[in-house]
Amino acid sequence: MFQSLQKWNRKARKWLWLLTIVGVLAAMPIGYLRVQMEDTSNEVEFIFNYKDLLQISAYQGNPQAFTAEQLDHLKEAGIGTMAVFESTLDELSLARRLTIYNSSQIATLQNKTAPLNENYTYVLFADAPTRQSLSSMIEYVFERSGINVTPWTFDEREGLIIETPVENAVVKRMPPDPIALQNLHDRGFQLLPRLSDRTRPYDAELVERMLQSFQDLGITRILFDGTAVPGYEDHAADKTLNAFAEQLNKHGMGIAAIENLKAPQKGFNLLANLTHYNVARLYSLSDADAMNLTPDVIADRFLLAAKDRNIRMFYINGQVLRSVDKAAIINSLDNTYHALKGDEDVKGAVAQLEQQGFKNGTAKAFKYDNPSWTKPFKAVVALGAVALIALLIGQFIPVLLLPSFFIGLIGSAGLFVLSHSVLEQGLALGAGIAAPTLALIWALGRVRLHTEGDLRMVGGPWRGKSENSDALFGGQWVFEGPRATRRLTMAIGLFVSTSIISLLGVPFVFGLLNNITYSLVLQQFRGVSLLHLAPIALVALYLFLYTGTQSVWTNIRKLLSLQITVLWVVAAGILGAVGMYYLSRTGNSGQATGLEIMFRNLLETTIGVRPRFKEFLFAHPLFLLGLFLSLRYRVAWILFIVASIGQLSMVDTFAHIHTPLYISFIRVLLGLGIGAIIGLVFIGVWQLVEGVWRKWVPKMGKSSV
């Protein structure tokens, strides 16, 4: 039975490869749909935090004149939208709409004794038009909370008495300031209201009134404030998110997703689904960054966000500080203007984005299509992914080739019923690991084939070892192989072929993870760390256990019987530190060095797309050098472990679903091209050093004698 299974496994291998190729082909039209989707939204929108502008103006001698002047400057710089928060009495006071007093302060103004049993909030409006605009809104919000509100006048100015302490009154959330909304609209700004879930219980009537007023002002998108979307807390009992989504759809309004929040806003994903993914991604420039970053760095961040992360909204905060060094109040506005407009020497963010095809305007949601034919095509892609994973398993445990394929099919069917996303991500991750691992195993096999029978021993510290020694422990062995020029052409051919096999994993990633939620980062591809580690570990395992002349079990016993020395412990510590640094560089939170950032920016300005640093400057060059050396020196096979970093990184580039597909392709091709050039330089340097060594070292030995 065992021999029969082995026979079937040998026959099945070519069919599994055929299924893999068919899966790759089936993913192509799905990828084309994504390319079409990514080209449906090319306008970007610059937004400024209006509340921050008011806070900055509060430190000026004439706040209202300063605000009006800066609004003109913001418009001129390219900011077309103002973000307006839900209002509070404090913020209305900051905007000079009204003045707030407590009972004791009013008694003092009236030359009376402070009341002993009253602690109310007294509000005086700035003028009659302001009272007409705000009084009904204030009365509605407080009375729905059970707080009595009555009219009041003082010194011929109208106001309200709110029967609650000031400390409680100023935290009540109200709709955005209608006067500010109208003024900003009249100045030609688009408006971006920021709503929260702090007004509870959810009031459908109040929301309807707000959204209708927003629609009248031409507002098309809402940004949320706080940790949850409006209606989230009441949704479990009253399905309030469904009601909110219906109201948004009725008024033609979408929502904005803030990038890199510590935790997603609660209820956002459900609301996005209920609004048919009328979502635009938003990058927020913090107040500290707006103050401290240089204009060119800010512009570079905006450009990278638009090109590489499908972000179409740029939200700019403002900051005001007391500067001891300058003995003055300073703010971030001038730095913002410079970053957006640039100067004679450096283009600002607006001009740079327009140069890349991103027009300054109003951000729109991506239009996506999911035709019925994608389901059977996606099933074929999933079948190909199962076949590719089975091929990897069969490479290490040949007897499990066919069983792993059928088990994978059964498991996939079960996951399809339980969770589509887990199935898609699991198969994409498995295929992403399998492709580069199989590619490097294939490359090792080709090197062994080219060097088989050409092994000879040269002098060295291990003189006297048997020719049957394990490949990695007989590092003094060299091959009587072809000349250097032939080895170079063979290495280039293997480098290209290996990279093509590794890239077979890419269509499975974009073919399986084609849902709009991945492009909007509402759902993320899990397992990136495993994708960065598994191919390295598997290639190392194969190299140590499967490339020697002895059996796998013999090699395992050898490894287990090795004596651990202090040198081994030190080496393990170094490898651990390198591994931790390598993992810290993965994902969206990875940190780059200052030198690397400078180099990236140089590539951005000269090429337009930044290839991945670890690919073109490290892994790919060492892989090409390793292929060249491995055709002569067996110990050079160890460089295949380093090469796995570059091969897996190419697949990982496409795991960043929010990056446009064409950008990922250009990035990978640039990495391969530049990496190959640097690798050729490495080979040239090696040949030069090796030639000098062979020529001069023997002479030095004779002269010393």
If one counts every other C-beta atom within 10 angstroms of the C-beta of residue 192, the result is 26
Output the pLDDT for position 458.
47
Q: Give the pLDDT band of residue 89 (cuts 50, 70, 90).
A: very high
Output the pLDDT for position 705.
43
Of 3 and 661, the structure prediction assigns the larger pLDDT to 661
CB-based contact 251:213 (threshold 8 Å): no
Q: Which of 404, 367, 366, 398 is nearest to 385 (CA)?
A: 404
User: Residue 403 half-sphere exposure, CB side, CA atoms within 13 Å?
Assistant: 7
Q: Give the pLDDT band of residue 590 (cuts 50, 70, 90).
A: very low
If one counts every other C-beta atom within 10 angstroms of the C-beta of residue 596, the result is 14
Answer whether residue 66 shows pLDDT above 90. Answer: yes
Q: Give the pLDDT band of residue 343 (cuts 50, 70, 90).
A: confident
> pLDDT (tens digit, 9 = 90+) per residue, 452-510?
655 554 444 333 344 444 444 444 456 656 688 888 999 999 999 999 999 999 999 99
CB-based contact 122:159 (threshold 8 Å): yes
CB-based contact 542:396 (threshold 8 Å): yes
> pLDDT (tens digit, 9 = 90+) per residue, 307-317?
999 999 999 99
Q: Give the pLDDT band of residue 575 (cuts 50, 70, 90).
A: low
Q: Give the whole-angstrom CA distance, residue 286 versus residue 263.
A: 17
- State mean pLDDT over 407-432: 92
Lowest mean pLDDT among 3-17, 29-43, 338-352, 425-439: 3-17
Element (H, E) at 621: helix 620-630
Output the pLDDT for position 470.
43
Output the pLDDT for position 465.
41
Output the pLDDT for position 589.
44
Considering the chain, what is the average pLDDT of its residues?
86
Output the pLDDT for position 325.
77
Q: Give the pLDDT band of residue 602 (cuts 50, 70, 90).
A: low
Q: Give the whole-angstrom CA distance, residue 72 versus residue 86.
A: 23
What is the sign of the dihedral through the CA atoms of 148, 152, 154 and 157? Answer: positive
Of 467 and 140, the structure prediction assigns the larger pLDDT to 140
Output the pLDDT for position 585.
55
| Strands 359-360 and 328-331, sheet pairing | unpaired
Return the biggest CA–CA distance within the chain.
113
Q: Which amino acid is at 453?
A: G
> pLDDT (tens digit, 9 = 90+) per residue, 541-562?
998 888 766 677 777 776 666 6
Output the pLDDT for position 113.
84
Output the pLDDT for position 550.
65
- State mean pLDDT over 667-678: 93
Q: Which of 230, 187, 206, 172 is nearest to 53 (CA)?
A: 187
Q: Give the whole-angstrom CA distance, residue 454 versus residue 634.
A: 11
- State mean pLDDT over 439-464: 68
Q: What is the pTM of this model?
A: 0.85
| Strands 43-49 and 359-360, sheet pairing | parallel
Residue 8 CA to chain centroid, in angstroms?
Answer: 44
Output the pLDDT for position 478.
63
The conformation of residue 345, written as its DSSP 8-state character, comes to S
